Chains A and B, each alone.
Chain A
């Protein structure tokens, strides 16, 4: 327990039998949704139901990278909204998030990488997002421990740089939102698994849970890798597949890595936590899984790439590895908005990139639940885009492998 920290940051009430809004999933996005419902829409008759413990899923399993340098306008708009919210979030929640805008490098290793990266820089600038193209020697100035010599297997031909990108301490984000939502009257209910969704004449009216039936005016499913299982309960099929996404940390080292470094081509992204661990993420395991673990060869490949880029890491030891379950959509963009069942909304499909979006996801989803129609920033990410064909294709375009 940290010094000066109270024993509990939120109540753990028994759920009431009915709420105006029920959020399923007490991860970062669910907690943020509840907070903004209460804070910005005055809707405090809200429960957040969590089958496990608060913030036990992807919110505390990600690699905490925050950036907004996505290629397409729709993505750039919602991730940049998130970044702007991040910039004031610790103050708003009155909780230290260790948000640190240390900059994000996205490396280019091939001529095609260079072309795609420069195109993304130009697109970002047109969207008002800070983005720069750096030549290899400039990359070395930003990150001196990166090997930019030309005679390596994956030479660094340059990088895009977003100085406002960075990292935050992920569990503090969940706790900060949880504490603030609780203080505004939201019930955070843990160890309460949703086992059924009651639909009457095309409208969702209640959830059945391990703690009994709970009626709801509006239901929002915010369950990441378990989203399809919940939607199936209401007869809604979502175009999502659940995959493991693995990450690892090293032992503690003195600060050697001044920024976040990501490489699409070699499938690794690295930052150094304030405590000193090197935090690295990989690409997803190819197969469907709910096991919260993946295959060793993915970690092996990720470390091989990291050692190539950072020769200094050769002496580092891996302290632990873990996995989360990410819900990947066909266009690698989220699904946020109404479903064919009235009163039932989803906020899912964030795949490998949800952490950075947490504030904007919560804020736009809260607006969507409060108004019964999609927030302008969320509208391009509606479920019906798969039928209309208006996909937001961020596969391979968003600066990192998905």
Chain B
């Protein structure tokens, strides 16, 4: 799989590490959450079959984090 690093261009997947679902904000007031809400923040992530907005880091390159959208059913990178 070739992954488009926004800074380095397309590079082999081996240069990257995976970061899972993108756009999961840290809770604004963690102490106000119930145990269930905290568990959901810690442990539950989207797991769609199809387009998925996800985090990657160019670990063996520029070492920057970025988001991309990839289809989890085909591995096609959508942008």
Contact = CB atoms under 8 A, between A and B. Distances in A.
Contacts of B39: 239, 386-387
Interface string A237-249: 1111110000000
A297 interface: yes
Interface residue tally on B, bucketed by range: 20 to 34
Contacts of B42: 330, 386
Interface residues of A, number: 21
A84 B31 CA distance: 46
Interface in B31-69: 35-36, 38-40, 42-45, 47-49, 52, 54
A112 to B, nearest CB: 22
Interface stretch (A156-164, A194-202, A281-289): A281-289
Contact of B72 (A237, A242, A295): A242
B4 interface: no
Taking chain B's interface residues, is the majority helix, strand, or loop, or is none over half, making it mixed? Answer: mixed
A286 B14 CA distance: 11
B14 A297 contact: yes
Contacts of B48: 229
A297 B3 CA distance: 14
B3 to A, nearest CB: 10
Contact of A291 (B18, B45, B75): B75
B1 interface: yes
A288 B54 contact: yes
Interface of A: 226, 228-229, 237-242, 286-291, 295, 297, 330, 386-388
Interface of B: 1, 13-14, 17-18, 20, 35-36, 38-40, 42-45, 47-49, 52, 54, 70, 72-75
